Chains A and B, each alone.
Chain A
Amino acid sequence: MSSSTAEGHSARGAGSRGGLARSLALLGHEVRMQQVLFWRNRESAVFVFVFPPMLFLLLGSVYSDTIDGERAVNVLLIGMLGYGCANTALAGLAISLVVRRESGMLKRLRATPLPAWTYLSAVVLSTLVVFLLQMAVTILLGFLLFDADAPVTWVGLVLVLLVGVAAFAGMGFGVASLIRSDEGASAVVNLIVLPMAFLSGSFGSTNDYPEVLQKIAEVLPLTYLLRLTNAAYLHGEYLTSDLTAVAVLVAWGLGGYLVAAKRFAWQPRER
């Protein structure tokens, strides 16, 4: 059926000329196109790019004092980095893939010599570019408006968020593979991401949440991304300091990629 099309197409490599150079040129071309497509679509650019920093502005203006013993602005900033990661890599990626699949765009691309893996890598890389920009804007807003503290380790912070983007992109591919129509895509995706962000503590402390909600949060990937981000930002710790959290996050990401490997389709689900 349609889902096995990828195998049928990927039998040979990236063309006859120049092997690796050609592959990289194709990848660069496609990342550029993904960027043009992303920024040209104002509605989705606002939803994916502007929404998390905007929420940060709102929450940052409301909370002062401290949250769980840390300066509120730092905690909210970390929360919005995590939410932004899920919103960009899971929600944004899944919605745009479903829309492109149902419009026949992905199917049309399969008839070109662009290899499947090049396209999918470009989608992830482009998502990463968007998220890194968003992260820079959010942190800058924190510095300029709320006098937020700088992260103790920049390198550690970026490493955590790279793992976060890779994991949530996996979930994005998985979710896109399960959504059947483009009309419901953004509703379904927000039904996943917003409650997850709330439960995981993106919008503030979860200490006063009922125990049931706290239990649910314990299995959510964003909980662990926030824990790792927190450790890097406030305490200068690297990924290796909390391998359990890394393992849960990676497991969720792999789960997403596995679902996608089984169910991802290039053709509209018309049948």
Chain B
Amino acid sequence: MSEPSAAIRVRSLRKAYGEHEAVRGLDFDVMPGEVFGLLGPNGAGKTTTVEILEGYRERDAGDVEVLGADPWQAGTAHRERIGVVLQHSQLPPLLTVREVHSMFAGYYERPRDVGEVIELVGLAEKAESQVKTLSGGQKRRLDLGIALIGDPELVFLDEPTTGFDPTARRSAWELVRSLRSLGKTIVLTTHYLDEAQQLADRVAVIREGQLVRIGTPQELIGVAPEVEVRYREDGRDVVLTTSEPTRLLAELTSAAVADGRELEGLEVRRPTLEDVYLGLVDEEAVE
């Protein structure tokens, strides 16, 4: 049993579309105030899982609780408490940024101040511009502003930076961090590893609808003890992996010094989440 205080509780969740089993028995908890990342390749079942949590899809089996309610049965009072950024959804292109915020603010009993939210998501200069004139990154920030307008406790972000250039991605990350500092619980799906590593307190790696591993980014990296040592010799790349990098380096360097050679391009790499993740995904693929 999970602690009753979990913001989200998922047990043995299953969902199939016809023959295709998109989610095959997921279990996880999301604690209040944490940024929880659902990480996996395209088609892993991330969006299906999130849409079940948002109340868009009915599960086939398992238990799901979001803020103490079954999202499929929950009514308008429940929706006062959640904010949603969908992967694909266009807001009315001919309304201004301010008008769209006011429109959605009208749906909530206790909305946040429209001007404040526009400021928060960095669209103050665009407040009077029509939605259709916004860049891709600005539209995503508008989506986020709309998700925050009802002052939700829990925010779902489905691939919030897909298609962003690196600068836009960094500023979106800053925004998610500022949400976290406001005490929001955030569920984030992404297929970008660096994004999960940068933002998430805990990451669930899923593949083919199943949980492969769950933990903090550090824990996931810690799972793989191997360190990579690379250098170039006779024009070839040499890559050695070891669990005892100190000894390996000492051997390599003392041999090189004794021969009066230079180890060209010597590099010691700790694994990133990406290496771990690809390892996990490959492992599964072999089975």
Instruction: State which of B87-95, B166-174, B208-216, B238-246 sits at the interface with chain A.
Output: B87-95
Instruction: State which of B98-106, B178-186, B271-279 sits at the interface with chain A.
Output: B98-106
How many A residues face the partner with a CB closer than 8 A? 36
Chain B CB within 10 Å, residue with most, of A10, A22, A30, A113 = A113
Closest to B105 in A: A29
In whole angstroms, what is the CA distance A17 to B75 when docked? 14
In whole angstroms, what is the CA distance A132 to B21 when docked? 51
Beta-carbon contacts under 8 Å, B222-257 to A? none
Closest to B156 in A: A111
Whether A104 lies near B72 (C-beta < 8 A) is no
A269: shortest Cβ distance to chain B, in Å?
13
Whether B88 lies near A112 (C-beta < 8 A) is no
B80 cross-chain contacts in A, Cβ below 8 A: 15, 113
B78: shortest Cβ distance to chain A, in Å?
8
B77 within 8 A of A: yes
Of B77, B89, B146, which is within 8 A of A12 by CB?
Answer: B77
Question: Quick one: given A111-B54, A113-B109, A114-B107, are A13 and B84 in contact (CB under 8 Å)?
Answer: no
**B63-87 near A? 1/0 per residue, CB < 8 Å:** 0000000001111111110101010
A271 cross-chain contacts in B, Cβ below 8 A: 17
Whether B84 lies near A108 (C-beta < 8 A) is yes
In whole angstroms, what is the CA distance A10 to B75 when docked? 6
Of A11, A15, A29, A268, which is within 8 A of B73 by CB?
Answer: A11
A4 within 8 A of B: yes
Question: Quick one: given A15-B109, A104-B88, A104-B90, are A111 and B55 in contact (CB under 8 Å)?
Answer: yes
Beta-carbon contacts under 8 Å, A1-51 to B? 2, 4-5, 8-17, 22, 26, 29-30, 33, 36-37, 40-41
A20: shortest Cβ distance to chain B, in Å?
14
Closest to A25 in B: B106
In whole angstroms, what is the CA distance A36 to B102 when docked? 12
Closest to A41 in B: B94
Whether B77 lies near A113 (C-beta < 8 A) is yes
Whether A9 lies near B109 (C-beta < 8 A) is no
A13: shortest Cβ distance to chain B, in Å?
7
Closest to A102 in B: B90
A110 cross-chain contacts in B, Cβ below 8 A: 55-56
A117: shortest Cβ distance to chain B, in Å?
11
Judged by DSSP, the binding face of B is loop
B150 cross-chain contacts in A, Cβ below 8 A: 112-113
B108 within 8 A of A: yes
Whether B77 lies near A105 (C-beta < 8 A) is no
B76 cross-chain contacts in A, Cβ below 8 A: 9, 12-15, 113-115
In whole angstroms, what is the CA distance A88 to B72 when docked? 35
Question: Quick one: given A104-B89, A113-B80, A268-B88, are A12 and B75 in contact (CB under 8 Å)?
Answer: yes
Whether B108 lies near A267 (C-beta < 8 A) is no
Of B58, B77, B106, which is within 8 A of A8 by CB?
Answer: B58
A105 cross-chain contacts in B, Cβ below 8 A: 89-92
A121 cross-chain contacts in B, Cβ below 8 A: none
Chain B CB within 10 Å, residue with most, of A13, A107, A112 = A112
In whole angstroms, what is the CA distance A30 to B104 when docked? 10
Whether A26 lies near B77 (C-beta < 8 A) is no
In whole angstroms, what is the CA distance A112 to B152 when docked? 11
Residues of B within 8 A of A (CB): 17, 54-56, 58, 72-80, 82, 84, 86, 88-92, 94-95, 99, 103-104, 106-109, 146, 150
Q: What are 28 A-B contacts defined by CB distance under 8 Å?
A: A5-B56, A8-B58, A8-B72, A9-B55, A9-B79, A11-B74, A11-B75, A12-B77, A12-B78, A15-B76, A15-B77, A29-B107, A40-B92, A40-B95, A41-B94, A103-B89, A105-B92, A108-B86, A108-B89, A108-B91, A110-B55, A111-B54, A111-B55, A112-B79, A113-B77, A113-B79, A113-B109, A267-B56
